[in-house]
Amino acid sequence: MISERTNINAKSPSLERSKWLGLPQVWVRFVLALIGLMLAFGAALFSTVSRESGSVWGTVFLASVALLLSAFVGLTTVPYLARRVVASRVREAMDYDVTRAGLIYILISVVIGIAAINTGNNLLYVVVATLLSAVLVSGVASAWVLGSLLLDVHLPEHVFAGRPMLARMILRNTSSWLPSFSVRVVPAKRKASKQSWRWESYTLGFPRNRAPQDQWFRLPDRRLRRVPDKAEKPILRESVYFPFLAPGLELRADLEISFPTRGRYCEKNFGLATRFPFSFLTKTRRINLAREVMVFPVVEPADRFLEVLPMVTGEFESFVAGRGYDLHRIREYMPDDSARHVDWKATARTGSLKVREFSREDERKLRIVFDNPAPGVLPPEVYERAVRMAASLAWHFHHEDVEVSFVAAGLEPTEDIFAFLRYLALVEPQEATPVFSRLRASDDYNLIVTSSSENGIPSALAARSYVVSIGPIAKA
């Protein structure tokens, strides 16, 4: 059986070629379709002659033959040729939009055409033919302009919400003799978002206006809600204009764009549009060029959260300085050393200022914990403020002389700042196991961003933590 299948597959390429004149099967079918349509046209003409001569049966027979031949060609050849179209050619299709000038032009052509039919004036027929030929020339010329273009889009790797960034558009004309005129890179057309009914997980808690840790009881439940389908956030919102592109030339354009909110922004395709040469139609060629940007939350400068940062830094420094007990060495005094570490005996003996350095004094380890609340606990604007606070603190301490790690519900503990920012870019309120149960015992100082009070944090963890409470419950 294996050998028979192998032979069949080996012969399959030859099946694509017909034995008739050695032509491919697609060309044979195309030629036969043309012959069939010519025969149908001839039968239709002879049926007209038969009708004029008074032969009723001859007219019926020839008209039936013409109809049957046309139907046979349409049912057998057209679907086959459609399946033979390359998929990329289908996806990279052309969109046509009539401009205001085009509408006026078409209206004038229709009026002159009606006048030509009513009067039978040959000059008006010539004018109508000229007007229609201009539309045909416009379509062919714009297709030539767009057909030889290649587009590439370069986007930065790390993008923060609210900060402008540069996107580079590279447009190349692959034709060796035909230039391109008046081309614009435009966003892809998007469908309107719809709403649908969906079942979603839900936890019934009482009292409802309290944090999950402070509720009397919580029962798993499900509820049916009508939610809008998540529409893809577009990357490109405005067009980039290239007035002229010579044959074989490559042009680059830098576009400053910004993203208002965090999340995933993507484009499945871009468009190359032109109104060349008469502005009757806007012809847009869709380019299959998928691009995706992960937009991190807004990272605020340190002066924006001064109400939190000095207290965090002060408690963290006290924790680090107070946990070293083993003397490591006695060294020379440095300007940034604390006066309480001065060793006066060694200073008197050597005549120069000496300080004591403890073995664990320089270990500055910080663990930032984001306690993701359940749905409905925080209003959307307060939840976004919590996400921004976590991202801002993580970005600030990442650039300090601190060894930082990150923990959150649904995120494996990591030391990669960008992995944590990617998590915050997509995070949404969800029912999950509290993050405090996933914290492993360590000597790190914990900075916890949470919506609950300090009473909901284990006492062993709270002793070496600073809690930033975001939400209705303020930090005491």
Hey, what CATH class is 91-190+232-296 in? mainly beta
Instruction: Report whether CATH 3.40.50 matches the domain 302-324+363-469.
Output: yes
- From its phi and psi, is residue 294 left (phi > 0), alpha (psi between -120 and 50) or beta? beta
Burial 359-394 (b: 16+ CB within 10 A, else e): eebeebebbbbbbbbbeebbeeeebbebbbbbbbbb
Q: Percent of the chain having pLDDT more than 90? A: 15
Q: Give the number of other CB atoms < 10 A from CB of residue 129.
A: 12
Q: What amino acid is encoded at 375 in this protein?
A: P
pLDDT digits (tens, 9 = 90+) for 364-399: 678 888 988 888 778 888 899 889 989 988 888 888
Task: Give the residue from 395, 312, 426 showing the smallest Cα distance to 404.
Answer: 395
Dist CA 125 CA 116 (whole Å): 6
Peptide bond into 234 cis (omega under 30): no
The answer to whether residues 308 and 389 touch, using CB atoms and an 8 Å cutoff, is: yes
Contacts of 196 (CB under 8 A, 6+ apart): 226, 227, 229
pLDDT digits (tens, 9 = 90+) for 401-443: 778 889 888 888 889 999 999 999 999 888 766 677 667 666 6
For the whole model, what pTM was predicted?
0.63
Task: Give the residue from 226, 231, 228 showing the smallest Cα distance to 191.
Answer: 231
| pLDDT at residue 153, rounded to an integer | 92
Res. 327 pLDDT band, cuts 50 70 90: low
Handedness of CA 358, 360, 363, 364 (dihedral sign): negative
DSSP alpha helix (H) spans, 322-356: 344-350
Q: Percent of the chain having pLDDT more than 70? A: 73
